[in-house]
Amino acid sequence: MLIKLAFRNIFRNFSRTFLTFLSIALGLMFLIIIDSMLTGIDQESFDRIINYETGHIKIFDRGYREDEENFPLDKAIADPAPIIKKVGEDPDVAGVTSRINFRIMLSDGIDQYPAVGIAVNPADDQSVFLLRQAVAKGEFLRSGEAAMLVGEGLADDFGVDVGDYLTVLTRTKYDTYQAIDLRIKGILKTEDPKIDWSAVVIPLGVGQDSLDMGRGVTEIDIKLKEPARIEEFRARLAREVPGMEIATWKDLAADVVAIAKAKRGGTSFVLFSVFVIALIGISNTILLAAFERTREIGMMAALGMRRGQIIRLFVLEGAMIGILGSITGCLLGVLVNIPFVQYGFDWGFVMRDVGDIGYRVTGVSRGVWNIKMIAIAFVSGIVISSLTSIYPARVASKMEPTEALRKA
Amino acid sequence: MKKTLFTLAIAAWLAGAVLAATGAEIIRKVDENLIYKSARMEAKMIIHIWSEVRTKTMRTYQKGRESSFSVFLSPPRDQGVKYLKLKDNMWIYLPDVDKTIKIAGHMLRQSMMGSDLSYEDALESGDLLDKYTATLVSEEVVKQRPCFVVDLTARVKEITYYRRLVWVDKELFVPVREELFAMSGKKLKVMTLGNVQKYGSRYYPLYMSMRNLLRQNTLTELIITKAEFDLSLPAEMFTQSSLTK
Amino acid sequence: MFKIALRNIFRNKRRSVLTGLSIAVAVMIAVYLWSLISGIMDDLFDNMIRLNYGHVRILNTDYVKRERLLPLEANIKDYQAVARLADADRNVTLTVGRIKFGVLLEYKGKNKPVFGTGIVPENESPISHLDQKIVEGRMIEMGKEEMNLGASLARELGLKLGDTLTVVTQTAYGSITAMNLKIVGIFSYGVQSMDKTTFFIPLDRAQKLLDLENSATEIFIFIKDKNKGPEVAKEIRAKLDLAYPGKYMAKAWQEQELLYFYMVIARNVYAGLYFLVLFLASFTILNTMFMSVLERTKEIGMMKALGMKNRQVMGIVMLEALLIGTIASFIGAIWGSGIAYYLATRGLDFTATFETMGTINFPISSVYHALFSWGIVFFGFCMGILFSVAAAVPPALRAAKMEPTESLKEI
């Protein structure tokens, strides 16, 4: 009975219902979009680090991390194959690969720049990292070929392009000078300054030979199927491969995590403000609508409806509009957000008025699906609209029917 | 037919052995000239860098290949700077701050006093033949002097330059040119030597130039202006305490 | 008419308060969010200019490409003569030479890479405000072997005022060089990239230390209007090309590539965000106002029945909206400016978070300060009124057109 009445009430005054509905729907839509954008900005730097530098978790030889800034090739994992095999069989592991990081001087015979060499295994690097997708020009490496990929910034510094040669000067594991001329096979563009401005990527085999490393690697990199359970996995890994050093991306990118934390302080403040606006918008609209119905309530009371029933009726109406608004709001939010998540928003156009700055930059910010926020938005839309309906109903139903009827 | 091949193989092997032996012998003879019990030298270091020329003078005391002690005499900003080398270690004393700094780790790879030599180059000590296999590869004429060309290839892993090519004056057994290579075979540094003088029974080159091929437009020359060999030097000279004296 | 409108507003207090509350909150948030965002961005740009780039910077052409390596050999010889060229420009208010160099500070057996800057102390206050940022001791003086050290760095190395630190580095020509420097002052910018990794020494001491007599690695130029950076840089470039062909170049802060680019992006991202928030805020105002007027259909009918003309009815409705809008916007603007003022003076402090982080070369303050400006407050105020009135138009129009009986029928 009540439901039917609520339905009738909702549709009877269409413009009122529509306005309330609109305030819920639009409020939630904005909440979802803004949150997605903010989370996207936060997430971006993490993704870059994980995708290009750290993976989710890394295995090092004991003592490597302590001396990490010196790229100690003598603290390498001499025989990584059994570990890679063992890790690869773990059901939680999405991908595993191995790398050698080494210090180099890159030279074209005129200029020299210090850089970081990364020897990657072309066969399985993409199971953990996104370097293959980051090749902006040219092609990715093939196993064993004497070629390299260089970051876009480095390539710009030297004024070189795909097909040109550069000399990689380094030291072997035994500190013997090593200099190899390699053809540039591809240019990397990752938006990760550590890669774009200082990375030289070569095939693992070439690295192992030139650095006199045998089959050794400096690290084994792992990508997980469920990154959220990383600590659990780390504990298990420590048992499975004893005597090694294990570090998660959070350990490896402590700086970035700290910056993001600081940024999140700012973003949650913004988000909170957005939430407040949406909340006020929704609740005030509902309150306004409900208070305007004091006369109606008096009528109902006069017709013999009990107070509890009246309140329930109002809450029910509020909930109905809330559900409708929440569904629409979330749906709209998600729909509007799709291109933003899919393609991101390119701020590159901003640079046009700055003039030619010598290299191509795109600043694409992408949204991120934050299911938690969508759920929160959905639930709060319904809860707010039902709860705020209680108060005016209570106030009005407390009045004598005659008084209520006289009002407004 | 088979027999001829076999003889040829033996002959080739023998020849190789003989060449190797002569290679080692040549280097040994060179060492007789260049290695001394002790020496005192005054030298001028001329560094050509970015179209500028910087000259530094110094006095060096050396004991064998292992120890040396140098004091810079000029220019004013380097005056009183002292270098002490003991085996694989190097200390620098800076008078401005009255401090001794040990050159270690990554710093060893840096250029010494801005020259084309790295600290590591300066630190190199011990017998070349302990670390390299010497092979006589050919004979050439360099600056009108007939020379042996000896190839030195590393036989130990821990070594800075994997391969060296040395041109040795056939008559005086003094190197006139040396090239240093990376493991991949890329040439890194070229050294030339000259102005050979006779001191007693030994011949010693008083001019040396070094070019780091990885740096653009740089050259370092070392001119020895005064040299005395096999004199007695006080042992305490080659201790850290002599730096602060 | 004004009286009627005023009476109407007070008659239904609850409605007025609710409508006003929505408007006030929306205005408040619009005001303080903008203050905060522009505060953060201004701080970033301001730090960038004052600490990294000046308005225009003269550099050796070879320095530009390899700036991240701080190549001392690519310096400006006889820098004062070069600076005089720029001084001649009528837009230029100040030119000052600087030398930035890298040092590996050794402590407890670990090496810490830090940056030293040789400065002319008496010129520094308009540039980096160093004089105001000294929290302990005093500023360095020309000709003396003294340094001002970042507070976080001092804490990390366990150094205090009066201590002497030996700085060991390489000269422009690659020789090892060192200098004993007495810590006479400790500064705190609240910018971690400064406080944690930098120190200042007198320019002449830097020249001596690095074997760069009469040279500087960069010349900072300050101009009257910082927005004219690129134009002034162009003029100076032309002069440099004439006097030192191909050797030196001038760059405005807007032309500082990567960092500037990322900052512009950051600014636009936040502007975009703010725009969304503003949209939501204005929608809230619109919607509430719309609802408020809509619910008064009956009242409007009454007015008409009493013989009011359409125009009059509309006028009253609009006037009411204007009144509520103005009062609410005023209250919202006060609230907003209160919060903005609090954020401007106290700030949102993230120092603890930034402390844990390594060396990043991004001149962001660890305390986010809002920028308090009456312009922003006024903007919020006007926005509130505008949207309140605009929202009242369609329902007022509709009500005015209604037949009296019709509107009375409706509940």
pLDDT tens digits, A215-257: 999 999 999 998 888 999 999 999 988 889 999 998 888 766 7
Residue C400 CB contacts under 8 Å (≥ 6 apart), including other chains: C300, C310, C311, C313, C314, C317
Report chain B residues whose CB lies below 8 A from the CB of A210: 183-184
Structure letter (DSSP) for residue B118: B
Tell me which H or E stretch contains C22: helix C13-47
Measure the CA–CA gap between A152 and A200, rounded to whole angstroms.
10
Cα(C241)–Cα(A125) distance, integer angstroms: 49
Look at C175 and B49 and tell me if their CB atoms are within 8 Å: no
Per-residue tokens: C87: 């001084």
Opening angle at CA B142, ends B136 and B145, nearest 5:
90
Alpha-carbon distances, residue A267 vs A259, A273, B37, C151, C351 (angstroms): 12, 10, 73, 28, 16
SS3 category, B88: coil
Q: Is the pLDDT of residue A382 over 50?
A: yes
> Chain A residue closest to B159 (CA)?
A176
> Does residue B167 have a pLDDT over 90?
yes
DSSP assignment, residue C53? I
DSSP 8-state symbol, B163:
E
Give pLDDT, residue C126: 81
Q: Do B183 and A176 touch (CB under 8 A)?
A: yes
- Distance from C-alpha of A137 to C-alpha of A149, rounded to nearest angstrom: 10
Interface check for A177 against chain B (CB to CB < 8 A): the answer is: yes
pLDDT at A346: 61
Residue B46's DSSP bridge partners are B55, B221
Contact residues, chain C, for B47 at CB < 8 Å:
173
Cβ-contact C196, C152 below 8 angstroms? yes
Contacts of A139 (CB under 8 A, 6+ apart): A185, A186
Contacts of C174 in chain B (CB under 8 A): 49, 110-111, 113-115
Q: Is the pLDDT of residue A408 over 50?
A: no
User: pLDDT: is B242 or B51 the higher one?
Assistant: B242
Q: How far away is chain C from the Cα of B232, in angstroms, using its nearest Cα?
A: 31
pLDDT tens figures, C222-237? 999 888 888 999 999 9
Q: Please tell me which residue of chain B has the smallest CA distance to A211.
A: B183
Q: Is C276 in contact with A292 (Cβ distance < 8 A)?
A: no
Q: Which chains touch B (3 or more CB pairs under 8 A)?
A: A, C
Which residue is associated with the tokens 């009059």?
C312
Asked if the Cβ–Cβ distance from A175 to B160 is below 8 Å, we say yes
Report CB contact under 8 Å: B160, A176. Answer: yes
Interface B-C, measured as beta-carbon pairs within 8 A, has a size of 39
Tell me the domains of chain B and their CATH numbers: 5-242 (2.50.20.10)
Q: What is the pLDDT of residue B159?
A: 86
Backbone angle region of B6, left / alpha / beta, with phi > 0 → left and psi within -120 to 50 → alpha: alpha
Q: Is B57 left (phi over 0), alpha (psi -120 to 50) or beta?
A: beta
Maximum average pLDDT range among A368-372, C12-16, C74-78, C154-158:
C74-78
Write down the pLDDT at residue A353: 41
Q: Which residues of C32-49 are buried (b: 16+ CB within 10 A; e: fewer)?
A: bbbbbbbbbbebbbebbb
CA distance B119 to B102: 11
- SS3 of chain A: the string is CHHHHHHHHHHHCHHHHHHHHHHHHHHHHHHHHHHHHHHHHHHHHHHHHHHHHHCCEEEEECCCHHHHHHCCCCCCECCCHHHHHHHHCCCCEEEEEEEEEEEEEEECCCCEEEEEEEEECCCCHHHCCCHHHHEEEECCCCCCCCEEEEEHHHHHHHCCCCCCEEEEEEECCCCCEEEEEEEEEEEECCCCHHHHCCEEEEEHHHHHHHCCCCCCECEEEEEECCHHHHHHHHHHHHHHCCCEEEEEHHHHCHHHHHHHHHHHHHHHHHHHHHHHHHHHHHHHHHHHHHHCCHHHHHHHHHCCCCHHHHHHHHHHHHHHHHHHHHHHHHHHHHHHHHHHHHCCEEHHHHHHHHCCCCCCCCCEECCCCCHHHHHHHHHHHHHHHHHHHHHHHHHHHHCCHHHHHHCC
Is the Cβ of B92 closer than 8 Å to some Cβ of chain C? yes
Residue with tokens 């019709």: C406
Tell me the range of A38-42, B105-109, C147-151 where mean pLDDT is highest.
Answer: C147-151
A380 Cβ neighbours under 8 A, 6+ residues apart: A28, A279
C-chain residues near A255 (CB < 8 A): 357-358, 360
| 0.90 surpassed by complex ipTM | no
C15 closest CA partner among C365, C320, C369, C349:
C320
* Residue C176 near residue B94, CB atoms below 8 Å: yes
Q: What pLDDT score does A360 carry?
A: 37
Distance between start and end Cα atoms, chain A: 27
Looking at chain C, which residue has its C-alpha nearest residue A344? C269
Q: Which amino acid is at A13?
A: N
Query: Residue C71: is the preceding peptide bond cis (ω within 30°)?
Result: no
Average pLDDT, chain B: 85
Report which listed range, A1-15, A299-313, C193-207, is most confident. C193-207
Which residue does chain C place closest to B105, by CA atoms?
A: C111
Who has greater pLDDT, C361 or A325?
A325
pLDDT of A357: 37
pLDDT > 90: percent of chain A: 32
* Amino acid sitting at position C287: N
Alpha carbon of C400: minimum distance to chain A alpha carbons (Å) = 17
Mutation target for A interface from B123, B183, B186, B217: give the one with most A CBs within 10 A: B183
Looking at residue C404, what is its pLDDT?
59
Q: How sure is the predictor about B12, in pLDDT bands with cuts at 50, 70 and 90?
A: low
Minimal Cβ distance to B96: which of C173, C174, C179: C179
* In the predicted structure, residue B71 carries a pLDDT above the cut 50: yes
- What's the pLDDT tens digit per position in C128-143? 888 888 999 999 999 9
Q: Which chain A residues have a beta carbon less than 8 Å from that of C40?
A: 266
Domain ranges of chain A: 2-46+258-406, 63-242
The answer to whether the CB of B159 falls within 8 A of the CB of B123 is no
Lowest mean pLDDT among A273-277, A286-290, B3-7, B43-47: B3-7
Chain B residues contacting A, CB < 8 Å? 105-106, 109, 154, 157-162, 180-184, 186, 188, 214-216
The rounded Cα C99 to chain-centroid distance in angstroms is 26
The answer to whether C177 contacts B49, with C-beta atoms less than 8 Å apart, is: no
pLDDT in tens, C378-398: 888 888 888 888 878 877 777
pLDDT of residue C359: 43
Q: Across chain C, what does the average pLDDT equal?
A: 82
> Alpha-carbon distance A246 to C364, whole Å?
32
Q: Is B96 on the interface with C (CB under 8 A)?
A: yes
Q: Which residue of B has its CA nearest to C166?
A: B97
What integer is the mean pLDDT of A153-175? Answer: 89
Burial class (CB in 10 A: 0-12, 13-18, 19+), B189: buried
Q: How far is A292 from chain C (nearest CA, A)?
A: 6
In tens, the pLDDT along A334-367 reads 898 888 777 766 655 444 444 333 333 445 667 7
User: Per mean pLDDT, which of A36-45, A168-177, C360-369 is the most reliable?
Assistant: A168-177
- Average pLDDT of B22-44? 89
Mean of the pLDDT values across residues A378-407? 77
**In angstroms, what separates the C-alpha of C144 from chain A's closest C-alpha?**
35
At B132-143, the pLDDT tens digits run 999 999 999 988
A54-58, A374-378, B20-24, C294-298: which has the highest mean pLDDT? Answer: A54-58
Q: Which of C164, C168, C170 is nearest to C212 (CA)?
A: C170
Residues C376, C378: Cα–Cα separation, whole Å: 5
| Amino acid, res. A185 | K
B97 has pLDDT over 80: yes
Residue B51 Rama label (left phi>0; alpha psi -120 to 50; beta): left
- How close, in Å, is residue C108 to chain A by CA atoms? 15
pLDDT in tens, C323-382: 888 998 999 999 999 988 888 887 776 665 555 444 444 556 666 777 788 888 888 888
Alpha-helical runs (H) found in C139-228: 151-157, 192-195, 203-209
Which tokens go with C260?
């500037």
Task: Determine which helix (DSSP H) or strand (DSSP E) holds C267, and give its type and residue range.
Answer: helix C257-294
CA–CA separation, A109 and C378 (whole Å): 61
Residue A346, Cβ neighbours under 10 Å: how many? 13
Alpha-carbon distance of C309 to C303, in angstroms, equals 9
User: Could B186 and A175 be called an inter-chain contact, meaning their C-beta atoms sit closer than 8 Å?
Assistant: no
Pairing of β A199-203 and β A112-120 = parallel
Selected residue of A108, A176, A206, A213 to mutate for chain B interface (largest B Cβ count, 10 A): A176
Q: What is the CA radius of gyration of chain B?
A: 20
Alpha-carbon distance B6 to A108, whole Å? 48
pLDDT at site B157: 85
Give the strand pairing for A135-138 and A177-188.
antiparallel
